[in-house]
Amino acid sequence: MTNPTTTTKKLAIITGGTSGIGLGAALKLAPNFNLVLTFASDEAKAQKALASIKELFPETQVTLIQQKLSVAADADSLFAKVGDLCKQSPSVLVNSAGRLNDGLFLTQDFEKFAAVVQEHLIANMAVTQHAVKAMYKAKWGRIINLSSISANFAKRGQANYAAAKAGIEGFTRTLALEVAHRGITINAIAPGLIETPMTQELLQKIDSSDRNLKARIPAGRPGKPEEVGALVAFLCSDDAAYITGTTITIDGGRSLGDPES
């Protein structure tokens, strides 16, 4: 895999970059990019993530920025901080911040419902608008959005998450069309079940139930954040320059059908 070979490493911003898939992406981008990792609240965890990256890649500049990304205005704050702390403008943006708040649509408080869509879709778009402006000037850019197989396959209690993720895929296609001529690619990744803090509770439930979801995944196991990170790294490389506007599923075959039933 070839990668940008400038003397100074380009800058990659990873929202939610200190945990889960975001951290998996950080570890895979660290050899070739300087990193900005955003986190919402857990400073200790962020410092731990920073240390784990620095241990492996001491040359890579890693900047931690505490910034919640719940609404569009949070993106303005984030980019003000990036401007203060970094000499470079971002060449890569990985939008992986976001939490689950499942609940049946009929009974969930609408504010809570809307907050999930705000966080996963609207805040993501706002961050992207800041980043894509810098990339447009630089005539090179990579944007990776995190969708989910939930965008296309329904799960009770995830109307908010599914709506946001389906929105992400439509957003990805359209923006790709608008900026492709400037050397900017924008793609989405749709993971299946990945072992992250976000899915920890779910994984424990599966372990203690007889549903045995793991048996429904043809690969026979949940995925690892680094495996999603490797796909992020590929999409950020020059080798992937011709891939844009698409959603790539990474789910061990889970969404192919029901291998058991």
Partner 1 sequence: MSEQKVAIVTGGTRGIGRAVSLGLARSGYKVFSLYGRDRESAEETANAAKAEGKALECVRGDLTHPEKFKALVDELKTKTDRVDVIVHCAASGVHKKALELSPKHLAWTFDINVFAIHQVIQQFMPMMKPGSKIVGVTSSGGTRVIPYYSAVGSSKGALESLFRHYASELAPQGIAVNLVCPGLVLTEAVEAFPDKESRTQKTIDATPSGRLTTPEDVSQVVQFLVSPAASQIIGQTIVVDGGKTLSS
* Catalytic residue IDs: 161
> What amino acid occupies position 119?
E
Q: Which of 55, 84, 111, 260 binds partner 1 (CB under 8 A)?
A: 260
Neighbouring C-alpha atoms within 13 Å toward the C-beta of 141: 28
CB 189 within 8 Å of CB 147? yes
Work out which of 40, 50, 149, 233 binds partner 1, going by CB under 8 A.
Answer: 149
What is the Cα–Cα distance from 115 to 95, expressed in whole angstroms? 17
For the CB of residue 52, give the shortest distance to partner 1 in the complex, in Å.
32
Give me the least distance between CB of 136 and partner 1, in Å please.
37
104 binds partner 1 (CB under 8 A): no
Nearer to partner 1, 71 or 104 (CB): 104
Region binding partner 1 by CB under 8 A among candidate stretches 60-68, 76-84, 104-112, 248-256 = 248-256
Residues paired with residue 64 on neighbouring β-strands, in sequence order: 37
Binders of partner 1 among 186-215, rule CB under 8 A? 192
Does residue 48 come out as left (phi exceeding 0), alpha (psi in the -120 to 50 range) or beta?
Answer: alpha
**219 near partner 1 (CB under 8 A):** no
64, 98, 61: which is closest to 81 by C-alpha?
64
DSSP 194: B
The residue (of 132 and 217) whose beta carbon lies closer to partner 1 is 217
> Minimal distance in Å, beta carbon 202 to partner 1?
14
Judged by beta carbon, residue 136 or residue 153, the one nearer partner 1 is: 153
Location of structure tokens 């296609």: 173
Tell me which of 112, 155, 205, 211 binds partner 1, using CB under 8 A: 155
Q: How far is CA 241 from CA 138, 182, 237, in A?
A: 15, 11, 7
Contact residues for partner 1 (CB under 8 A)?
A: 149, 153-155, 192, 253-261
